[in-house]
Each structure stands twice: as structure tokens, then as C-alpha cells.
Structure 1
Amino acid sequence: MGIIFSIVAAKADDDELEETYKMSVYVHDYSSGGPNSTDIAVVGIPGKIWSFTQFGTLFVCDDAITEGPEPNSEPVGRVQGISVTTSLEGIRALVAFSIVFTNKAYNGSTIEVQGNSNQFDSVREYGVASGTGKFLYAQGYVTYETYFFDPWTSYAVSRCNISIRMPPRHHWCTLIS
């Protein structure tokens, strides 16, 4: 199974072509608190249990991204970032993370994502703020769909659907002579 990926060229306002990228990858999250955790609480309200439903709890993640949902599927990169439970009732979380590509085609390129969502929605949507490398100046959105969750081991797999637009590259110039 390969990355579901497409590029579409579309006319921009000035008759130049902009590129649209669409891809789906799978994010593997281990949040058990054990030695193999890739998502852990690092700070919270003193005297309260630090959990994803407790207002003020901050998490840091470094999750693997693969082409398919299986843990041994071809690696694509990492999701590295933070999330904090921002609603008093523990439903909403603010996230800011980088999709850091390590595969051959996009090695070193990133897509920068941020947003606030209901943690219990089956599909969560976030904005793409920017990107680096091959995704410089990216704009768009990312959706996360829970694909699999094992409450006993706190292991989750999410399908990450990425849809971004890139401006025409010939308009990129250096302002320093």
C-alpha cells in the first residue's frame, strides 16, 4: 500500500498554476505512560490528574507516520507537537504540530498544523498554517479520523488526510540582493 497522493494544477488569479496536494497517511499514538509512549502529559493543574479530559493538561507527542494503518507499514515521517486541553469541561483541545517527512520523496519537508477541536469527534479538522521544504507556503487543512483505538494499551491509529495548496513557485524570490 502506498501513500494515497495526488497533485492537481489549477489556475491562480494571475493565470499561473498553483498545485494542490492531497494525501492520506496513518499516525500511530502510544499514550500509556510507559517507556514506549509517544504522547505524554508533561504538565497540568497541581492536585489534579493529568489526563486528556482535564482542563489545562499539556501533552507532547512524537508519533510515527506510516503509509498504511499497520505498525510495520512503510514509514513516512513523524508528527511532533503539543496539545492542551483548553475547555473547562475537558472536551476541546488546542493542537500545534509539525508533520515531519522522512521518506525519500519529501525528506526534511514539513507541514505546520494548528487548531482547536472536539477531542471526541470521529473526525477532527485543523488548519495548515505553513510548511517548509517542498511544502513551503502551504495552505489548507488536515483531518484526523480515528481508525483504531485499544483502551487497554492506549494505542491509537488515526488516518490523517492532508489537503494543501501551493502558490506558483516562480513567484518565490529572494528579497536580499
Structure 2
Amino acid sequence: MPGAAIFAVFIFSLLAAGQSQEYFSRSLTQKKLGLKKEKLSHLHFYFHDIVSGRTPTAVRVAEAAVTNSSPTGFGAVVMMDDPLTVKPQLSSKQVGRAQGIYASAAMEELGFLMVLNFAFTEGKYNGSNLSVLGRNTVFSAVREMPVVGGSGVFRFARGYAEARTHWLNFTSGDAVVEYNVYVFHY
């Protein structure tokens, strides 16, 4: 009889596990979430990374013991809240902010790990975000970083962002970077 009881407990636990699996996850249709046809959008804007002056938009928040002796600043971590504008001039119309961090992650070249959200504040994208996570080799003519997600209009987003340095002040470290972002979304 004890064998039958053990078998019954085993069968009951399998059934209970199956029920909790179904409760934990389920398949949905796009229609159920209100998703319509997927589209491809191209966004173009300028990113203003200001590290100098009285009101910087990017500040170093951490560094390693070797950072200041490294030719690439290896180990530096910078927090940013950079304006995004329609033209390269900071005085042009602002369409959002680039908020996140970049860290010097390469010892042999100037290469940043970028973890940021493009938080849009204008037009049909107002209140929506695109999330970027990737490698930015600053002195390459064109850098490509993946768009890994988004929110609002950009829910379920995927794509890539191309960055090109428009202007760089080697003395201050301030830069203006042109972005072309290609993103699939619903």
C-alpha cells in the first residue's frame, strides 16, 4: 500500500505542476494586445553630450584605479541626460533626451558600452522610448548599435541605431553625434 500512496502523490504533483505552468504563461495573439501591422520607422536627430561647463549633461559617476592612467579612460562610467535635437545646433527644436550610462570598456581603443533610452518628448512619439544596448567605438566613422526594445509607440521595438560624430571638441570633450535610427514596431 505505501507504494500506491507514493505513486498517487507523484501523479498529483505532476498534475499540479502542469496546472501551474499553464497559469504562469500562456500564448496570446497580436490582436488581443491591440497590435496592428508592424511598420519600419526612420528617426533622425542629434545627440548633444556636454561634459564641460557649469551645466554638463553627462557626468562621470565612477572610475577604476587605472582610469586616469589609461589612454582610453578604461573603467570610467558616465551618467547622461543628453538633449536630442532636430538639427546639430543645441538651440534647435528638442525632440527628446538620451538618458542612461556609457562606460569606457576597451583598453586598446576608445570604445564605450552604451546603455541608454531615447526618451521622446515631441509629436506622435511623445512619451515613448527606445532602448539601446551596444558598443560604440567613438573614432569609427559610423557606429551601429542594436535597438533592443521600447515602450509606448515603440512597444516590441527592434532595430539599430547608426551614430556619426558631427562635432567633437578634443579640449572639452563635448560632442554632437548624428543618429539615424531604423526600428520595427507596431
What is the TM-score when the length of structure 2 is the normalising length? Answer: 0.74
Q: Which amino acid aligns with 2:144?
A: E
Q: Match of 1:156?
A: 175
Structure 1 position 99, deviation (Å): 0.0
Q: Are residues 1:120 and 2:139 paired?
A: yes
Aligned residue in 1 for 2:4: none
Structure 1 equivalent of residue 84 of structure 2: 65
Q: Tell me which of 15, 22, 29 is aligned to 2:49.
A: 29
Give RMSD over aligned pairs. Answer: 2.0
Structure 2 spans left out of the alignment, 5+ residues: 1-35
TM superposition outliers: structure 1 runs of 4+ over 6 Å: none
Provide the secondary structure at the position in 1 that maps to 2:153: helix
Distance in 1 between the 2:85 and 2:74 partners?
31
Aligned counterparts of 2:59 and 2:179: Cα–Cα separation in 1 = 20
Q: If you compute each CA radius of gyration, which structure gives the higher value, 1 or 2?
A: 2
1:95-115 CA-to-partner distances (Å, cap 9, x unmatched) read 110000011321110000010
Alignment of 1:69-84 (within 5 A): 69-84=88-103
Q: Structure 2 CA distance, aligned partners of 1:50 and 1:137?
A: 42
Q: For residue 8 of structure 1, what is the aligned residue in structure 2?
A: none
Given the alignment, which residue of 46, 58, 80 partners 1:39?
58
Question: 1:55: how far off?
Answer: 1.5
Letter in 2 for 1:161: N
| CA shift for structure 1 position 42 | 1.1
**Structure 1: tracts of 5 or more residues without a match:** 1-15, 168-177
Q: CA deviation at 1:86?
A: 1.3
Letter matched to residue 89 of structure 1:
E
Q: CA deviation at 1:92?
A: 2.1
Equivalent position SS for 2:38 = strand
Equivalent pair of 2:67/2:74 in contact (CA under 8 Å): no
Aligned-pair CA distance for 1:51: 7.8
- Amino acid across the alignment from 2:173: S
| Structure 2: distance between partners of 1:51 and 1:100 | 32
Q: What is the CA deviation profile of residues 38-70 of structure 1, one whole-angstrom value per residue up to 9, with x for unaligned ones? A: 112111113642888221111111100011111
- Paired with 1:109 and 1:98, the residues of 2 have a C-alpha distance of 10
CA distance in 2, matches of 1:42, 1:162: 28
**Which structure shows the bigger proportion of residues in strand conformation?**
1
Distance in 1 of aligned mates of 2:105 and 2:142: 18
What does the per-residue CA deviation read over 1:63-92, in whole Å, with 9 as the maximum and x for residues that have no partner? Answer: 000111111111100000111111222432
TM-score, with length taken from structure 1: 0.78
Q: Distance in 1 between matches of 2:157 and 2:134?
A: 16
In terms of fraction of residues, the more helix-rich structure is 2
How far 1:119 moved relative to its partner?
Answer: 2.1
Q: Name the SS of the counterpart of 1:70 in structure 2.
A: coil
The answer to whether the 8 A contact 2:66-2:74 is kept is no
2:39 counterpart (2, 19, 42): 19
3-state SS in 1 of match to 2:124? coil
